[in-house]
Chains A and B, each alone.
Chain A
Amino acid sequence: MTLQLPTLGEELTSRQPDQPADPRVQDTHASQSRLIWRRFRRHRLAVIGGIVLVLMYLVALFAGFVAPFGSNTFQADQALRPPQLPKFSLAHGFYVHPSVGKTNIQTMDREFVEDRNTYVELRFFVRGDKYKLFGVIPADRHLFGPKDPHQRWYLLGADRAGSDLYSRIIYGSQISLSIGLLGVGVSLVLGLLIGGVSGYFGGWADTVIQRVIELIISIPTLPLWLGLAASVPPQWGPTPTYFMITIILSLIGWTGLARVIRGRLLQARGEDFVLAARLDGLGSGRIIGRHLLPSFASHIIATVSLAVPSMILAETALSFLGLGLRAPAVSWGVLLQDAQSLQTLDSAPWLLLPGIAVVLAVVAFNFVGDGLRDSADPYGRRD
């Protein structure tokens, strides 16, 4: 190291710029993330979407606690039971009446007769079906449910097997919401690597990668999914199937991200501060990691949050068609399988409720993504 410190002369101390500050400009010391947050907060829809998402993920995380019953407990005689709204009386608190289901031989409809003399009393923080919190901690407390753990209550009705639909939607959110994040995570790694190589080095690598991406994009997605998903052996358990489906979804999903990253890199590569960093003697790795990636990280986060809903939709579509996850795994798509038959839908329209959960999650993600995209560049102009 032959660098020497510049010697400081005494006369150098008073070299402050003597330009008075413009009184109309406020001096801000906020960092990049603060500026983004400040802008994001002004996006009312995005903030609402964010709150909805946080709630949904919390529910998914504490599914066993929030759901009154286990995901695979059922009572066959309650199949296709309509939703039961709780009633209130001073003697019993919140309660519902149990009912017995019969199939009408003439119409083949399910008919339920309420037993007005018995009460299913509902309470908060009751003991009920056993579950494992976060998959490890054994517990049996539930946020709310029947006081007597052997009684049943169907807030959003029952599915074809006689399970509580509400509990199953909550358990289904675990897979449906996580597969989106996990799939996009895998896509992001692939996209960053491949798009990064393509954008930073350019040349023939860029040409080859871009042509491959175009090839993949040009294949119609649904048949490709179907083909890949059909190759998952049906005897596999839910967990391997889950990971296979994730990988299948992200193998196709990375292309869009790779393109975005390449475009951003090409744009950022031309910035003066990148040339400055090169002249500072920084290596490629440091330039990418320290200057390029941070400069578009916020854009990537925005793109990713817009990619999650398409993953959720893809999983739902595959499972709905019976090629994704299969029972006993519970996901929103699996639940919607019940809603395939128009006849069932006619008599039990509540089977479509998992679809509303899908819509809610997708819309919330889109709002958040839009808000992030708009606030991603705090130095850009806003129109």
Chain B
Amino acid sequence: MRFFNARARARFDHAAEVGLREATVADDTLRERDVVLSVRDLKTIFRTDDAEVKAVDGVSFDVRRGATLCIVGESGSGKSATARSILQVVDNPGLVESGQILYRRGPDDRVIDIAALDPRGAALRTIRGGDIGLVFQEPMSSLSPVHTIGDQIVEVLRLHDPQTPAEMRARAIDELGRVGIPEAEERFGAYTFQLSGGMRQRAMIAMALVTRPALLIADEPTTALDVTTQAQILQLLADLKSTLGMTMIFITHDLGVVAEIADDVIVMRHGTVVEAGPVDGIFHDPQHPYTRQLLATLPQRSTLGGWAAASKNTPERPSEPTTAPILEIEHLDVTFSGSSGRIFGGNRRAVHAVKDLSLAIPAGSTMGLVGESGSGKTTLGRCVLRAYQPDSGAIRYHTDGGTVDLARLTDQQLAPYRREIRMIFQDPYGSLNPRLTVRQVIGDPLRAAGVERAEIDARVAQMLDLVGLRPDMASRYPHAFSGGERQRIGIARALITRPRLVVADEAVSALDVSVRGQILELLADLQSELGLTYLFISHDLSVVERICDRVAVMFHGQIVEEAKASDIFTAPTHEYTKALLSAIPLPDPRLRGTRELLTYRPTDDMVSV
């Protein structure tokens, strides 16, 4: 926000002051002096084509000064809409319908009803970013790509706390240093694309904190980050809270994160608060069945150092998987060259996604593949399916009739194996063609194989039943299904050809925790019934632990450790695995602070990609 001159500035300040004065309510509306923000019976409505959706339906809560309030809930529960309603920055068709948002900056300050302010007025603009800071989930899209991060922080200061340019610059650098950005002086002039995801999120936090807001609202600030980066950001927020005495509303779907940082928790569902209370009570004495259901999805730490699956109702594993491998990957190398087909291509840089990788997957077992984003795990999975062509190495696939090297087959030769090796996609929305009915989506592989129409329909119906959907749903379109149901459709499509090996690439990552458990159960059931082998790719260690027999840890295109799942989780040998495990949030607020965050610095030969 730039002002043309001092008069414009004065006019803005005056308008803000008038707006604030008009929104000031009687002091005894908010008696408790230690409450920064009190939301009372908030209703936010989204008007869509057909109906109006009550995204927030009568929510009330208090935020205590100096405390961290976590709003936890699954997607669509209204947690983000609540947070955005506080600053009246709800996405377009949404509107704050009624309710009070009482805000008291300091213990002796006046009480302002933010809900009564004009969403575009000067008063609310002084509060946004000045009194109440906001951190979003995706730092890449919430920071401007065309301005340096330093300029963006100074911009905030210029509106809320104008000083001389040199002073503001110094404060911005100071703040960047405080959030743990090394060489803050140089990073002041960096653009967002020059920073890693974690650094970007730190810059975002610095931007939100530079005006010393009375309240920080963080909307899923760690969801887009890797688990190790998430641990660092959580650590940072905890440190800042103690040094600055910061008050925070933290929105997340991850109960592990809640256990890590919350003082108070509210659990939301369908736009209403189902349970609220201190974090210890929520975790150890949950009252509402929905809270219990959420907690049941958490992996529990049984004894010190050991992890055990939370849901004991998963069926017995096929005792000890046969040791004969169904698939052997040998010395696999995959590189992606930069742009191709350009006349003036020139300076192409190849990315070495998978480097000299070998892995054997025992038949009938579940092999977990974990690693952070960019470690090459998805590339490896897609190579097995030959969606990508490896540069060198072999992918030996064993059948009853002998062994073939998938890496060397032509597309025609590959056709029969495409039916035996199938894939389950991560995104239940993007992987189903919205223009086709469920019957068409699931039946496509059979149609490609030349199966008769009547038989396709019969088998699709059978398959739907197998994955827990009603056969009469076959004529619906994907948009009529929820995320979990769509993923069932995706599983049905993968299994319709009766495959032997299924590559599940982050198959449950996009799902809510309560649905995630059901899908994992379904996968386990199907494995024992159909004798499937899974290559289960995930960044989520708790999921991998729950379903996998063996686990391979990938880092920079290589496998650093591969062992039985129980061994990996109890006695990891590689430093990177240890660092990865240490970063998992402990899902119990009483164990807070008992873990030590390890960091892994790769040796030189590993980073030279």
Please report A residues at the B interface, Cβ cutoff 8 Å.
1, 3-6, 8-9, 12-13, 15-19, 21-32, 35, 38-39, 42, 202-204, 206-207, 271-273, 275-283, 286, 290-291, 294-295, 379, 382-383
Contact = CB atoms under 8 A, between A and B. Distances in A.
Interface string B433-473: 11110000000111011110000000100110111111000
A273 B270 contact: no
A278 B423 CA distance: 11
Given A17-B484, A28-B479, A286-B448, A279 B50 contact: no
A8 B462 contact: yes
Interface in B43-66: 49-51, 53-54
B419 A281 contact: yes
Given A29-B476, A204-B341, A5 B462 contact: yes
B448 A273 contact: no
A286 B342 CA distance: 28
A15 B418 contact: no
Given A272-B425, A280-B448, 14 more contacts: A1-B451, A6-B462, A8-B462, A12-B465, A15-B466, A15-B525, A32-B435, A206-B341, A273-B431, A275-B431, A276-B432, A280-B445, A281-B418, A291-B435
A276 B495 contact: no
Interface stretch (B127-135, B157-165, B362-370, B514-522): B514-522
Nearest to A205: B341
B154 to A, nearest CB: 30
B348 to A, nearest CB: 15
Nearest to B443: A280
B444 to A, nearest CB: 5
A6 B477 contact: no
Interface in B317-363: 340-343
Interface string B403-420: 000000000000100110
A118 to B, nearest CB: 60
A5 to B, nearest CB: 6
Contact of B465 (A13, A17, A39, A276): A13
Contacts of A9: 529
B92 interface: yes
Contacts of B93: 382
Given A17-B485, A207-B342, A31 B477 contact: yes
A276 B493 contact: yes
Dominant SS among interface residues on chain B: loop
A13 B529 CA distance: 13
12 contacts: A6-B463, A16-B469, A26-B51, A32-B435, A35-B479, A207-B342, A272-B426, A276-B431, A276-B493, A281-B445, A379-B434, A383-B92
A275 to B, nearest CB: 6
A256 B65 CA distance: 59
A38 B480 contact: no
Contacts of B342: 207
B296 interface: no
Contact of B468 (A15, A291, A379): A15
Contacts of A6: 462-463, 466, 495, 498, 529-530
A198 B529 CA distance: 46
Contacts of B253: none
Given A273-B432, A276-B425, A282 B448 contact: yes
Given A4-B498, A8-B465, A203 B340 contact: yes
B477 A281 contact: no
Contacts of B435: 32, 291, 294-295
Given A6-B498, A24-B53, A279 B422 contact: yes
B495 A24 contact: no
Given A28-B479, A272-B430, A286-B448, A38 B49 contact: yes
A12 B433 contact: no
A24 B51 CA distance: 9
A24 to B, nearest CB: 5
A24 B54 contact: yes
A24 B270 contact: yes
A26 B480 CA distance: 9
Contacts of A22: 76, 270, 482
Nearest to A207: B341
B497 interface: yes
A202 B515 CA distance: 40
Given A17-B484, A280-B418, A281-B415, A3 B498 contact: yes
A346 B434 CA distance: 59
A281 B470 CA distance: 26
B196 to A, nearest CB: 24
B107 to A, nearest CB: 38
B271 interface: yes
B173 to A, nearest CB: 37
A318 to B, nearest CB: 36
A207 B339 CA distance: 12
Nearest to A2: B416
A15 B451 contact: no
Nearest to B497: A3
Contacts of A35: 479
Contact of A3 (B53, B419, B423, B514): B419
A29 B450 CA distance: 29
B396 interface: no
